[in-house]
Amino acid sequence: MATCAVLALPVLAREGVDVGGISPMAKLVPAETVERSAGQQYQQLLQQGKQQNALASPDQPQLKRLRAIAQRIIPHAMAWNPRAKDWRWEVNLLGSSQINAFCMPGGKIAFYTGILQKLQLSDDEVAMVMGHEMAHALREHARERMAKSAATHGVASVLGAIASYKWGIDPNISNGVARGGANLLSLEFSREDESEADLVGMELAARAGYDPRAGVTLWQKMGAANKGAPPQWLSTHPSSKSRIAEIQANLPKVMPLYQRALASAPAR
């Protein structure tokens, strides 16, 4: 009988950043429940904005700009989380002086006008912010935080965490659920979550054809805008200098992706 030698094929290393797998803790909270609740909270937030004449209309130039950037980034999200292919992505703009943006579980994105106006963000910098916020959702950081808080504090219900002040949502929106998990309403992502989102977001932006070096200028602007902020060891977030250093260290991993995206992009 003839025998065939089986050659072991080399395993190709993944291009891009290396942040490991999604935390097993996230699986303790049902994704469907979190995403459904997030969608409800998001719609309520938009309704509040509409009532206050703070919700941008579809033809508003800055909103059109945000949605165009999102259209380029979203196709690259699925590689980070298979659930993302079924998400009903939304992008909206709210009139507020806050320097803030978010992406809720399920792909519900919002920017505040303050971050665009006060920081005068370029498209590349907007893509870095958007990629960062999308990364939080893709990496299931909210589910992980909620599960850890529930485990730590013995909270029976964790859905109230969706109404985090990070997202600027009135805690009363969560009704009885919020009362059951009131201590979760101040949910914030950890330093590790923020660092991970920086790197994943940078890769998402690079694959979409946005310059990942914009992460450096973005956090320089953030640092200047947050003068007087507490030192790093008193904050849950890494300092701007730490973030810039980590971004710079990972640029060699994503610059080829950006250059390839530019080379293959149709003329605009």
The catalytic residue positions are 133
With a CB cutoff of 8 Å and minimum separation 6, the contacts of 266 are none
5 φ, ψ (degrees, to nearest 5) = -80, 130
Cβ proximity of 99 and 119 under 8 Å = yes
Residue with tokens 């600027």: 168
